[in-house]
Amino acid sequence: MPKNKGKLVCMVVVFVLALTLSVGCFTRSNAEADDQPAPPPGMPSLKEIYKDYFEIGAAVNLSTINTHRSLIDFHFSSLTAENEMKPEGLQRTEGRFSFQIADRIVNLAVDQGLKMRGHTLVWHAQTPGWFFQDKNGNRIDQKAVITEEDRQLVRERLESHIENVMQYYAGKVYAWDVVNEAISDDGRYILRQDSPWFRILGEEFLEIAFRKAHEVDPDAKLFYNDYNIERPYKLNRTIQMLQSLLDKGVPIHGVGIQGHWSVGDSLAEVEQAIKKYAELGLEIHITELDIGTRDISAQGLARQAEYYRQAFALFKKYSDVITSVTLWGISDAATWRPNDNPLLFDKNREPKPAFWAIVDTDKSWEENKAYYLGE
């Protein structure tokens, strides 16, 4: 072999070796950075514990699918995207749908055999302004007179969003929060008056949305999702709204009680609401559970644990109608309520007393922890 050729072969071999090693290192260090250690032996899995009752889900985002990956794999049977499937996540510009980011969450669910809840198609928040602008760029919902042409335009956009998104995720997303937070906080009205959907389309926007959703994916379970609809000030108006949709034959299959609570909030009210929604013949999902406490002393965390225990005992009691319970996050390190410490795992992603409390709701959290960890 000529001297130069030998040198060239040598250089190629060294280069390939170096490349292989660096790719190997890169992949490995990335995996280590992304993940956390698997839960230690003896740790009970929430999805195992609740498998005969309901799906147990978590809201996740692009960051937590990495930073909380072991906990997701071990404990949860269902995922919800915290923000990525909202209208501003999927159609920031009219007609340009971008599914890549949401896909990372949906594909994780599909690959791991987890259920995927879709959140959310129609909402007054996190929805780009163009949805509500006329062809001249004026906000239709702020006009003194809204024309039939304006209404038609907005209706088409509503239907097109639902059609594109649900068609794309058909077979992957089994349940959708079709309409989110439409009920007014003001007792004088049933529907919130500041929603551009309501201002432009009137109360019919709900019917349009649910009918379109059912037409696009007849296999999907369609939910109405809202906060405080288990509280007396909102319960009856929500029942009224749902009943009137059902009377018109609108395809609505379930109600999502979000569950952004604080320790001490009435669970008796929650039970009353569950009974009333069940009487409508609707399935119930607890969609965004997190139970806040500012007191993170040992006593405060024990009180939070006891409240979580009672909440899950209640959900189990009604598991014939409650088919899914989703926590709005996994650990207190990544929550929209950072001062309220509302989740089952602490800022170091370690199980809190609240976690141990729901492992067996017939026992105290201390007993459960001692039993499983052999302490």
Residue 234 CA to residue 247 CA, distance in Å, equals 20
Nearest CB to ligand G3I, comparing residues 81 and 154: 81
Find the shortest distance in angstroms from Cβ 368 to ligand G3I: 29
Residue 112 CA to residue 69 CA, distance in Å, equals 11
Binding residue count for ligand G3I, defined by CB under 6 A: 9
Residue 147: alpha-carbon gap to chain centroid? 36
Are 345 and 355 in contact by the 8 Å Cβ rule? The answer is: yes
C-alpha to C-alpha distances, 332 to 91, 260, 294, 355, nearest whole angstrom: 30, 14, 12, 12
User: Which of 23, 25, 125, 170 is the binder for ligand G3I (CB under 6 A)?
Assistant: 125
Find the shortest distance in angstroms from Cβ 338 to ligand G3I: 11
Are 205 and 198 in contact by the 8 Å Cβ rule? The answer is: yes
Rounded to the nearest 10°, the torsion over CA 7, 13, 16, 21 is -120
Nearest CB to ligand G3I, comparing residues 150 and 290: 290
User: Which of 74, 97, 99, 336 is the binder for ligand G3I (CB under 6 A)?
Assistant: 336
Residue 138: alpha-carbon gap to chain centroid? 33
Where in 152-191 is the site for ligand G3I (CB under 6 A)? 180
Where in 287-306 is the site for ligand G3I (CB under 6 A)? 288
Alpha helix segments (H runs only) across 64-147: 64-67, 69-75, 87-90, 100-112
In the residue annotation, 375 being an active-site residue is answered as no
Q: Does 258 bind ligand G3I (CB under 6 A)?
A: yes
Nearest CB to ligand G3I, comparing residues 38 and 125: 125
In the residue annotation, 288 being an active-site residue is answered as yes
Q: Does 97 bind ligand G3I (CB under 6 A)?
A: no
Q: Does 207 bind ligand G3I (CB under 6 A)?
A: no
Q: Does 126 bind ligand G3I (CB under 6 A)?
A: yes
**What DSSP string runs through 282-298?**
-EEEEEEEEEE-S--SH
Question: Which member of 181, 207, 230, 283 is catalytic?
Answer: 181
Q: Does 332 bind ligand G3I (CB under 6 A)?
A: no
Find the shortest distance in angstroms from Cβ 221 to ligand G3I: 18
Q: Of 86, 78, 113, 75, whose CA–CA distance to 324 is shortest?
A: 78
Q: Is 60 helix (H, G, I), strand (E, B) or coil?
A: strand
Q: Of 282, 248, 167, 260, whose CA–CA distance to 215 is shortest?
A: 167
Find the shortest distance in angstroms from Cβ 124 to ligand G3I: 10
Q: Does 142 bind ligand G3I (CB under 6 A)?
A: no
The sign one gets for the Cα dihedral 84, 85, 87, 93 is positive
Question: Which member of 55, 82, 283, 288 is catalytic?
Answer: 288
Which residues participate in catalysis according to the annotation?
Answer: 181, 288
Binding site for ligand G3I (CB under 6 A): 82-83, 125-126, 180, 227, 258, 288, 336
